[in-house]
Amino acid sequence: MNDVIVIGAGPAGISAATYAKRAGLDITVIHSGIGALKNATRIENYYGFPDVISGTELYENGLSNARRLGIHIIEDEVMGLLMNDAMTGFVVSSGKEKYEAHSVVLATGASHKSPQIKNLADLEGRGVSHCAVCDAFFYRQKVVAVIGAGEYALSEAAALSHVAQKVILLTNGEPPAQSLPPEYETHAEKISSIIGSDRVNGVRLANGKEIELSGIFVAIGTAGSTELARKVGALIQNNSIKTDNEMATNVPGLFAAGDATGGLLQISKAAYEGTQAGLSVVKYIRNRFTKG
Ligand SMILES: Cc1cc2nc3c(=O)[nH]c(=O)nc-3n(C[C@H](O)[C@H](O)[C@H](O)COP(=O)(O)OP(=O)(O)OC[C@H]3O[C@@H](n4cnc5c(N)ncnc54)[C@H](O)[C@@H]3O)c2cc1C
């Protein structure tokens, strides 16, 4: 078991990993490639570069330095986060692997925004969910839908299929990332609105078709910061992960840093919070396991 798994290899994740590694912890960084820096073509407000640097260069430099320090880095898309059976650590899962650690730093960037579908935001918590593992229980023997067209949507659908009477996939006009399994009824049209006033009663598609159902699980793209945090009961505030000044969440051993915690979405803030999270993880592991 690792001391710590950092999810994310942007400025926050690599900073956390650097401080934890240099303090002697066993650490693995899991990431699914470049995050927000991908679209930052001209960075000229970050300390230490005489010329403009691109986000891609900065990201590659961060990864190179982490490798030089001997940090174990895995490229994989994280879809699940759970406490282990003994409740002493975490199980981080992707489509193909499970990784275990005593602590986790979520440095997964800004949370995804929900799709702009009429009524979706109004019915949050009243039939609209972002976490199958948290809420599947409420939909025992009911018809539910997952909005999404990627591997993460399929993993949420699989979690629901053990409990729900029927799981429908709604790609909301997105081309599926892979062929969707035939066991799920699938609709590729855009969703025009969610039907229901007090609770979700169904969805209306752009072609006018109405589907009766009780729950909608939003799982667009990859699992984002708040989706992963919710899976282990971490508190969310303003669509960001809530932390204290040490970047600790309310879940012991779970830390968060960078754009994932909201506020100023800048590299300097992500690097600072990653540094603090790395130092806090070191303190947590040493106190708990008298290591190092
Ligand atoms: C267009 C644009 C321009 C910008 N320009 C500037 C600028 O000039 N100056 C500045 O200071 N800031 C700028 N920013 C902001 C800056 O890019 C971010 O604040 C910074 O990258 C946040 O770092 P982070 O480590 O928190 O997240 P990110 O850099 O977004 O990294 C997130 C990491 O998490 C990983 N991840 C996410 N989900 C998963 C998953 N499910 N499984 C595995 N890995 C996952 C991603 O692969 C990635 O490695 C800009 C942002 C944009 C979009």
pLDDT, one tens digit per residue, over 183-202 is: 999 999 999 999 999 999 99
238: domain range?
Answer: 2-112+223-289
Ramachandran angles phi, psi of 122, nearest 5°? -65, -25
Among the candidates 174, 196, 218, a domain finishes at: 218
Residue 93, Cα to own-chain centre: how many angstroms?
Answer: 11
The number of folded domains in the chain is 2
Q: SS3 sequence, 190-208?
A: CEEEEECCCCCCEEEECCC
pLDDT for residue 270 is more than 90:
yes
Question: Model confidence over 74-116: pLDDT tens digits?
Answer: 999 999 999 998 889 999 999 889 999 999 999 999 987 788 9
> Do 179 and 38 share a domain, yes or no?
no
> Do 67 and 45 share a domain, yes or no?
yes
> Do 107 and 134 share a domain, yes or no?
no
> Do 95 and 128 share a domain, yes or no?
no
Distance 109 CA to ligand 1 centre (A): 5
Specify the pairing of strand 166-170 against strand 143-147: parallel
What pLDDT is attached to residue 114?
81
Q: Is the CB of 80 under 6 A from ligand 1?
A: no
> Do 261 and 126 share a domain, yes or no?
no
Q: What is the DSSP letter of 253?
A: T
What pLDDT is attached to residue 288?
87
Q: Is the CB of 225 under 6 A from ligand 1?
A: no
Among the candidates 196, 218, 240, a domain finishes at: 218
Cross-strand pairs, 187: 170
Q: For residue 91, what are its two tokens? A: 């199980």
Atom of ligand 1 at shortest range from CA of 31: 44
Atom of ligand 1 at shortest range from CA of 42: 8
Among the candidates 201, 218, 235, a domain finishes at: 218
Provide the pLDDT confidence category of residue 70 given band limits of 50, 70 and 90.
very high
> Do 227 and 203 share a domain, yes or no?
no
Specify the CATH number for the domain of residue 26: 3.50.50.60
> Do 129 and 266 share a domain, yes or no?
no
Give the chain's mean pLDDT: 94
Provide the pLDDT confidence category of residue 123 given band limits of 50, 70 and 90.
very high
Ramachandran angles phi, psi of 281, nearest 5°? -65, -40
Question: Model confidence over 208-249: pLDDT tens digits?
Answer: 999 999 999 999 988 999 999 999 999 999 889 999 999 999
> Do 108 and 81 share a domain, yes or no?
yes
Give the residue whose CA is nearest to atom 52 of ligand 1. 40
Question: Model confidence over 149-184: pLDDT tens digits?
Answer: 999 999 999 999 999 999 999 999 998 877 888 899
Residue of 289 and 86 predicted with greater confidence: 86
> Do 239 and 95 share a domain, yes or no?
yes
> Do 16 and 107 share a domain, yes or no?
yes
Choose the residue to mutate in 30, 37, 225 for probing ligand 1, maximizing ligand atoms within 8 Å of C-beta: 37
Choose the residue to mutate in 32, 39, 45 for probing ligand 1, maximizing ligand atoms within 8 Å of C-beta: 32
Q: Is the whole model's pTM more than 0.95, yes or no?
A: no
Residue spans of beta strands (DSSP E) within 182-253: 185-187, 191-195, 202-205, 210-212, 215-218, 236-237, 240-241
> Do 31 and 104 share a domain, yes or no?
yes
pLDDT for residue 256 is more than 80:
yes
Q: Is the CB of 37 under 6 A from ligand 1?
A: yes
Give the residue whose CA is nearest to atom 29 of ligand 1. 10
Give the residue whose CA is nearest to atom 14 of ligand 1. 266
What pLDDT is attached to residue 59?
98
Is 21 within 8 Å of 71 (Cβ atoms)?
A: yes
Provide the pLDDT confidence category of residue 292 given band limits of 50, 70 and 90.
very low
H-helix or E-strand spanning residue 168: strand 166-170
Q: For residue 223, what are its two tokens? A: 């699992």
Q: Is the CB of 275 under 6 A from ligand 1?
A: no
Whole-angstrom distance, CA of residue 229 vs CA of residue 112 = 13
> Do 212 and 249 share a domain, yes or no?
no
Q: Is the CB of 47 under 6 A from ligand 1?
A: no
Distance 278 CA to ligand 1 centre (A): 18
Cross-strand pairs, 53: 43
